[in-house]
Amino acid sequence: MLSQPEIDAIARAMLAAMKPDLEEMFARARVAAAPVDGSAASSGGGLAAPAALEAPANGTSVEDVETAVKGCFHAFEERIVMLEKMGDTVIGELTKHFDASLKKFLHERPVTQMTDNELITALKKAFPTPTIRKEHAHVLNNMMLSFIEDVPNDQGDTVTVSFPPASILLQTFPNVNFKRLCLCVAERLLQASARRPLQQQPHVVRGKSGVDPEAMDRVDHATDTIIRGTFHDPRCWARKLFYILFAYFLIKESTAMELTDPEAAKPSAHDGADADYFAVTSTLTATCSGYIAVGDLPAPVHKTDAEPGSALAGEHTITRTDNLHNIALRILQAVVRTAHKFDNRAVFSFAMTLRGLLVSPDRTWLTKPHREAEEGVAPGEWTLLMPRTDGRQELDLTAQRLTAAEKDVILTKYRADNSSNASGDATFGGGSSSGGSQAPSGVSGSQTRPSTAQWLRNLSR
C-alpha cells in the first residue's frame, strides 16, 4: 500500500507536468473575462485596463485542481486497500482448496502406484463389511431361487454354495457357484458406486460400473478377495448352528430327533413357517454344565454344576420341540450375518432338505471326512455344512446344557411332586420328604441342619 508521502510526491510530479498548460488555460480565461476600455480602444492601445487585470478570474484556481487531484488519489488509495483485502481472501481460499486438493491427490494414489496392501485397504474402505453382507443376502436369496426354478438339481441342493471348500481351485458344485455369487456381489457393489456423483465415488473404483468375468483387472481381483474373506469362514456360526440345532441329534447315540407328525400334509412354500409338516421332537440328556457321563466314565465336575441335593443336580432327560422351517431360517440368517428377509421359497427349499436328511436312513454324511466332501463334484455334499470335528466338543456342551426355561420346568415339577410330602409342622428335620434329614437315633429332640433345598421350601411356603 502507498504511503502518504509517496502519494504527495506523485501528486506534485503530476501538477508540475500539468502546470504550463494550466497557466495558459487560466490566462486565456482571465483575458476573455476582462472588460475592454473604449478610450484605450480609440487611441489604438488595445490593452486591458489595470482594474480589469486585477479582477479575480471566473475559472478554477490551481489550488482547487490540486485539492481535486489529491481527493482522486485518496479514493484510489481506498480502492487499492479494498483490492488488497479481497486479494488476501482470494489467496486464502485458493490456498485452502489447493491444500485439500493436494492432500486428496496424495491420498488418492493411482491404482497403478498402489501396493497390494494399499489397494486392499482402499477397497475395504470403499466397501465396508456391512455393505458387503447386505448385498450377499440379496444375491444368495436370488441364487437359491435360481436353483429352484431355473437350474434345479436332483439333490435339491440350494445351500452348499454358502459352505464352499477352502481351496478355490476345486471345480466343484459349491465352488463354481460360490465364485458366481462373489462376482454378483461385486457387480452390485460397483453398480451402487457408479450411481453416485463422480466426485463422491471412491477413487479406487471411480468410473467402474461392473465386472467382466472374462477380463478382470487388478481391482476386480482384489475386490473378489475381500468378498471371499468376508464370506468364507470354516468355523462360521452357521455351521455351529446347523450342528447344535440339527446334526447333534442325529450323530449322538443318546439323542434322537423325529417328526412330530409324520402324516402331516405338505404345505405350500408360502405356508411353511410353523407348519406341522416340519415340526420335530428331540430328546437328549442335559445337565447344568453340559457335561454328561460317557459310557462308564462319570461326568467331570464343573463349577457350573448344580448344588448337590438340588433338583437340578445330575442328568436330566429333556424333550425339546422345534420346527425345521424355523431352523432353516436361522441358519440362513447366520450365513449372511444379518436379519435378512429371505424369500419363502428359499427357506422352504432348505427346510425340505433338512426334512429329507432327517427321514433318510443314509447318515453317512455325518461321519464323512471333510476333505473327501470338499472334493465332491456333484451337489448334495451335506458334510460341508458340518463344523470341523476338533471344534465340536464346545458345541456338544452347548447342546447338552439346560436352558433357563428347562430349569424352571424341572424346579416347578420338583416342587409339585414334593408339596404333598411337606411336613405338617414348622420344625425342620425329620420326615420323609426328599432332601430332609432324620434326627439321629438316641438323641431326643436333636436335629441336624436341614439341606438348602429343604429350608428354602419351608421358608417359601
Asked whether residue 75 falls in the same domain as residue 134, the answer is no
Asked whether residue 127 falls in the same domain as residue 44, the answer is no
CA distance 435 to 311: 9
Asked whether residue 89 falls in the same domain as residue 129, the answer is no
Residue where a domain terminates, one of 81, 104, 127:
104
417 exposed, middle or buried (CB, 10 Å; 0-12, 13-18, 19+)?
exposed
The alpha carbon of 236 is separated from its chain's Cα centroid by a whole number of angstroms, namely 18
Asked whether residue 241 falls in the same domain as residue 370, the answer is yes
The one-digit pLDDT tens for each residue of the chain (461 residues) are 667 887 777 777 777 777 776 676 666 655 655 555 544 444 444 444 444 444 444 455 667 666 777 777 777 777 777 877 787 888 877 777 766 666 665 567 788 889 999 999 999 999 999 999 999 999 999 999 999 988 888 889 999 999 888 788 889 999 999 999 999 999 999 999 999 998 889 989 998 999 999 999 999 999 999 998 888 665 588 999 999 999 999 999 889 999 999 999 999 999 999 999 999 999 999 999 999 998 888 899 999 999 988 999 999 999 999 999 999 999 999 999 888 999 999 999 999 999 999 999 999 999 999 999 999 999 999 999 999 888 899 999 999 999 999 999 999 998 988 886 654 444 333 333 333 333 333 333 333 444 444 433 443 33
Residue where a domain terminates, one of 404, 427, 456:
404
Asked if residue 179 lies in contact with residue 155, where contact means CB atoms within 8 angstroms, the answer is no
Could you read off the pLDDT of 42-75 as tens digits, one per residue? Answer: 444 444 444 444 444 445 566 766 677 777 777 7
Residue 417 belongs to some domain of the structure: no
Residue where a domain terminates, one of 231, 252, 275:
231
> What per-residue confidence (pLDDT) applies to 136?
93
Please report where in the chains the cell 450365513 appears, as a residue. 335
> Could you tell me the three cell numbers for 414?
420338583
**Among candidates 243, 231, 228, 227, which has minimal Cα distance to 337?**
231
Asked whether residue 193 falls in the same domain as residue 336, the answer is no
CA distance 222 to 189: 13
Domain span at 400:
237-293+304-404
Asked whether residue 92 falls in the same domain as residue 222, the answer is no
Return all residues near 368 (Cβ < 8 A) that are at least 6 apart: 383
Domain tally for the chain? 3
Asked whether residue 254 falls in the same domain as residue 393, the answer is yes
Residue 435 belongs to some domain of the structure: no
CA 408, 409, 412, 415 torsion-angle sign = negative
Asked whether residue 43 falls in the same domain as residue 181, the answer is no
Asked whether residue 14 falls in the same domain as residue 143, the answer is no
* DSSP-H helix ranges across 232-291: 237-242, 248-251
CA distance 122 to 115: 11
Residue 460 belongs to some domain of the structure: no
Q: How many CB atoms lie within 10 A of CB 212?
A: 10
How far lies 451's CA from each of 190, 307, 341, 411, in Å? 68, 11, 52, 16
> What per-residue confidence (pLDDT) applies to 95?
77
Residue 373 belongs to some domain of the structure: yes
CA distance 143 to 179: 12
Asked whether residue 164 falls in the same domain as residue 244, the answer is no
> What per-residue confidence (pLDDT) applies to 100?
66
Residue 319 belongs to some domain of the structure: yes
CA distance 221 to 240: 30
**Among candidates 294, 310, 291, which has minimal Cα distance to 302?**
291
CA distance 15 to 18: 5
Radius of gyration over every alpha carbon of the chain, rounded to an integer in angstroms: 48
**Angle of CA points 184, 144, 205, to nearest 5°:** 10
CA distance 282 to 257: 4
Residue 429 belongs to some domain of the structure: no
CA distance 423 to 435: 12
Residue 421 belongs to some domain of the structure: no
> What per-residue confidence (pLDDT) applies to 235?
59
**Among candidates 351, 367, 347, 349, which has minimal Cα distance to 359?**
351
Residue 286 belongs to some domain of the structure: yes
CA distance 379 to 365: 13
> What per-residue confidence (pLDDT) applies to 247?
97
Asked whether residue 281 falls in the same domain as residue 251, the answer is yes
Asked whether residue 84 falls in the same domain as residue 128, the answer is no
CA distance 190 to 97: 29
> What per-residue confidence (pLDDT) applies to 137?
94
Q: Dihedrals φ, ψ of 179, to 5°?
A: -60, -45
